[in-house]
Structure 1
């Protein structure tokens, strides 16, 4: 592959965040909003050129924000490549290989499938490139190729509406960390005011980070995670979560998630722009549902009930740690590198029980730099507890 194509084969990535504070997250989301472009168009207006999405033949759109130029070049993110592969039924592994090794072949394949059904409608979610007055339009970012019935629910709107719901719930809370990837937004919220003693769960446990003892600090705090995807990688949701004070391990409860799928009516062609009234109604529902969820998840009764549910399994001894963790990670399809980290955290944690395996999974999740992988691993903590307790 030539250097020219090596550069073109590199997929775009949006400005993201890992363990950011709320202010930094809002700043990034405001930048995304200022540059966003959502357009419903037929396949005939789309093509691939040098591995990028080319939009041609769409009239300028006049919206409340002014005149919008749609035609241009947009470099796909890895998520957009997955969407393109899905919509055109190209194996995603093959598409990635073409991007890495043969971009002209990638162009040829994508264009052939787009042209086979030129009237088929898609929604392209993109960000405009940065360019000053009088300058050539900069290359933008293609974030996702989606169904034309996708309901647009932007991260910033979801965040503000959800935080409004948190405030309306009346519970004192703190945002303890925010992640933003090409796929999802994660906002972790904790209430130290809802603190529950968990001496059995934390007996004999030590933080793998600083060695603090769970016997000396056997407390968990109630909390939850607000999640959204702007690119079809998951519903808007509020998932309950408890936090171990001794090590800040987070244990999510996916079985109790409150969620809303992004499916709506088909859009007309052109730039997608919701009316203020429609947006207001949609966001009011999110605010109300979030307030209801917070009142449930931040109740002492809820947290105590969840701890009782897991306590029996958590206390099961682990006779052969290496074999048990091998079994757990194989069962849950956790990779070898992460498996080794989980084993190391289990040993440092000193809790030779199924609960210790659960803690090792959640503490390992904290060390991952990829926020999507971290969230996925944390969500496996309870299945890991079940698998470890069954294996012994």
Structure 2
């Protein structure tokens, strides 16, 4: 099928949200569901032309809803480029250089490696575009994955996880949602499970409005639900304590619960999971979520984690600037984020290792890139340890 004159897609599902409400996230995910196309295709059916993925020779899917056309043109996201580099063993830095500076060379490289193993099969995750009648629209190539990748779509998984939260019996609320090309994040909090953290917050001021941790010393239990549809991480539930005075979040990554996206080999063509397969997967997600919530949303759990942090958090820093330099270097935090952390540390007024931890989490709140924010927040507790041991 030749599609040399595809239109730029004008109606492709939205892919981004930052600090959205749950209702907004659900609306975006519903839109994505309408545009999704998942197909197992051999290398012989895939080509790169002008930097876009062309699919040719894959059978259309006929359902009660009509015919789903697979052949078409799909514009790769950065995540898809990473998948292409990984599956074809092309150095990612080189692929990115070709993408920005020499697209014909990119086409030549990718196509040469695809021709090496024409029978090798991949899973292509995409969004269909909608163009004018009679003219193909350019869709979006979201990821190139193994043909054994097990689909756990955000929308179905979110509903199953929230059902698990409900079944746990704990009063909770969703405080914010993020969605990127890589991951979905849903932050959940239970103010019914809150403990005093006077030692942890002694002398701390919120860098956002100057409120005092001495006057608002509470932290509440919570967790963050994370999933990737494109191979950027397993479904997970990570415990997360929320500090009342500044809304900083402390994620306890060592206690994370994960469910990996690994399944059996899939047949070629458009993927359509059976109702039984989906039901079993989602029932497992609901059950795991219920168990995790009952563990993480307990006063005993929060108090134990608080006790682990308090001794290190109270350590005074003789040379805070050098300590922050050491912490950011140890944790591979970039120069721009380091400068922000130092500024937040000064504003927080807590000249301790705990103040460094707070500065990391408050800085994470200000980042517009949700993936970067989550990655930085996950470094807060390691930053506490690094600051306390540096002296």
Normalization by structure 2: what TM-score? 0.96
Q: Report the counterpart of residue 263 of structure 1 in structure 2.
A: 262
- 2:306 is equivalent to residue 307 of structure 1: yes
Q: 2:13, 2:28 within 8 Å by CA — same for their partners in 1?
A: no
Distance verdict in 2 for CA 1:140–1:83, change over 3 Å: same
Distance verdict in 2 for CA 1:158–1:276, change over 3 Å: same
Q: 1:157, 1:283 within 8 Å by CA — same for their partners in 2?
A: yes
1:228-307 to structure 2, matched below 5 A, reads 228-307=227-306
How many residue pairs get matched? 381
CA distance in 2, matches of 1:18, 1:310: 29
CA distance in 1, matches of 2:214, 2:63: 60
Normalization by structure 1: what TM-score? 0.96
Q: Report the counterpart of residue 71 of structure 1 in structure 2.
A: 71
Q: Report the counterpart of residue 3 of structure 1 in structure 2.
A: none
1:285-364 to structure 2, matched below 5 A, reads 285-364=284-363
SS in 2 for 1:143: strand
Q: CA deviation at 1:64?
A: 4.9
Q: 2:14, 2:31 within 8 Å by CA — same for their partners in 1?
A: no
SS in 1 for 2:181: coil
Q: CA RMSD in A?
A: 1.2
Q: 2:237, 2:258 within 8 Å by CA — same for their partners in 1?
A: yes
- Listed as ranges, the gaps of 5+ residues in structure 2 are 1-7
Q: How far does the alpha carbon of each residue in 1:253-311 deviate from its partner, in whole angstroms, 9 at most, with x for none? A: 00000100000000000111111111011101100110111111110110000000111
CA distance in 1, matches of 2:262, 2:62: 26
Q: Report the counterpart of residue 80 of structure 1 in structure 2.
A: 80
Distance verdict in 2 for CA 1:391–1:13, change over 3 Å: farther
Q: CA deviation at 1:13?
A: 9.8
CA distance in 2, matches of 1:276, 1:49: 37
Q: Report the counterpart of residue 156 of structure 1 in structure 2.
A: 155
Q: CA deviation at 1:66?
A: 2.9
Q: Report the counterpart of residue 40 of structure 1 in structure 2.
A: 40
Q: How far does the alpha carbon of each residue in 1:168-193 deviate from its partner, in whole angstroms, 9 at most, with x for none? A: 11111110000000000000000111
CA distance in 2, matches of 1:172, 1:138: 46
SS in 2 for 1:211: coil
- Listed as ranges, the gaps of 5+ residues in structure 1 are 1-7
Q: 1:14, 1:181 within 8 Å by CA — same for their partners in 2?
A: no
Q: 2:176, 2:188 within 8 Å by CA — same for their partners in 1?
A: yes
1:106-145 to structure 2, matched below 5 A, reads 106-131=106-131, 134-145=133-144
SS in 1 for 2:187: strand
Q: How far does the alpha carbon of each residue in 1:104-141 deviate from its partner, in whole angstroms, 9 at most, with x for none? A: 11111110010111010100000100235x24121000
Q: CA deviation at 1:43?
A: 0.1
SS in 2 for 1:318: coil
Q: Report the counterpart of residue 4 of structure 2 in structure 1.
A: none
CA distance in 1, matches of 2:202, 2:60: 65
Distance verdict in 2 for CA 1:28–1:13, change over 3 Å: closer
